[in-house]
A = this chain, B = another copy of it.
Amino acid sequence: MSRSASIKDVANHAQVAVGTVSNVLNYPDRVSQRTKDRVLQAIDELGFVRNDAARQLRAGHSRTIGLIVLDVGNPFFTSVVRAAEDAAALQGSAVLLGDSGHDAGRESNYIDLFQEQRVQGLLISPVGDVTDRLDVLRERGVPTVLVDRLADEAQYSSVSVDDDAGGYLAARHLLDLGRRRLAFVGGPTSIRQVADRLQGAQRAVAEVPDASLEVLDSAGQTVLAGRSVGDQLVRRSPDQLPDGVFCANDLLALGVMQSLAMMHKLRIPEDIALIGYDDIDFAVSAVVPLSSIRQPTEALGRTAIELLAEELDTPDSAQPRHRAVIFTPELVVRQSTAGV
């Protein structure tokens, strides 16, 4: 239960000055081999571990980056988080992770915490309106990068995915298969992601003369919501049926698939080609493996860290440059839209 060893203990034990121990740790080149060996041995014998609090007190800032996501349970964010952690580790920083759970209160608490911790910078996928708080942080030299949200480039850097392009990709793919009577299944269009994906799909359909796109509003973004849409489809007469269905996310698509599979009147992809969005793990192992749109989550996480690093490298004097990086998602073709 002994208090852990400090740099001073190491110095005594190795018969050198504290400054020398510090140099061994931070600027090994400045120290002769002999002393370095002695110091390293002392460190080993005492089991010395740097006290990060003291270090960052002196430095004025920590070596950590705050990251606040909407929901760690969501595979999209899980993947972003992991990529961000790895990218941060490469540049010698650690990531403090906060899960706001779509709750503005929790979000605000994490901002407080991270501010007390004097994080170098902040990555955030915001819930509430946090611009005021972020402005304060910026004034204090703590840059922010918005994640999965397009930002005013004059104010912040940001990384996001082009949902319109994703919607276009999905619809275009169905059209390329020769399908013409398309349907879009998606929750309330008040959700930006849903609206953008729909818009992209409409753009693709507009390019093909005899193609049409019907919008089927779903109650939510869940498997069950998808199943109830699917149940409605199954009841239609054959000439009223779409031949290609694009769902705003994979859960909806799996629901639709379940519904069709249970009735086993309509075949996927022969009668209806089906595509989802997000490429969740379950997409591969669905009864009929589900085509989907994959978002470059690793690139998102990595780039967010890089943009932050750019701002941190900007000398205090210079005006920081912000950048908004927009990624294009990727089409993943599986059996649910296989050519027939």
Contacts and interface: CB of A to CB of B under 8 A. Distances in A.
B57 A82 contact: no
Identical chains in the assembly: 2
B3 A60 contact: yes
Given A82-B101, A261-B261, A49 B116 contact: yes
A222 interface: yes
Interface string A130-167: 00000010011100000000000000000000000000
Interface string A67-82: 0000011010011011
Q: Kindly name the residue among A97, A254, A282, A316 whose own CB sees the greatest number of chain B CB atoms within 10 A.
A: A97
Contacts of A222: 285
A227 interface: yes
Nearest to A3: B60
A13 interface: no
Interface in A91-119: 94, 96-97, 99, 101, 109, 112-113, 115-118
A57 B6 CA distance: 12
B60 A57 contact: no
B82 A99 contact: yes
Interface in A6-39: none
Given A53-B62, A72-B72, A136 B47 contact: yes
A224 B285 contact: yes
Nearest to A320: B1
B72 A1 contact: no
B52 A117 contact: yes
Contact of A258 (B101, B227, B287): B287
A51 interface: yes
Interface of A: 1-4, 47, 49-54, 56-57, 60, 62, 72-73, 75, 78-79, 81-82, 85, 89, 94, 96-97, 99, 101, 109, 112-113, 115-118, 136, 139-141, 222-224, 227, 254-255, 258, 261-262, 264, 282, 284-287, 316
Closest 9 CB pairs of A and B: A223-B285, A52-B116, A53-B57, A73-B78, A53-B53, A53-B56, A97-B97, A4-B140, A49-B115
Given A50-B116, A255-B285, 8 more contacts: A3-B60, A49-B112, A54-B57, A72-B72, A82-B99, A82-B101, A85-B99, A222-B285
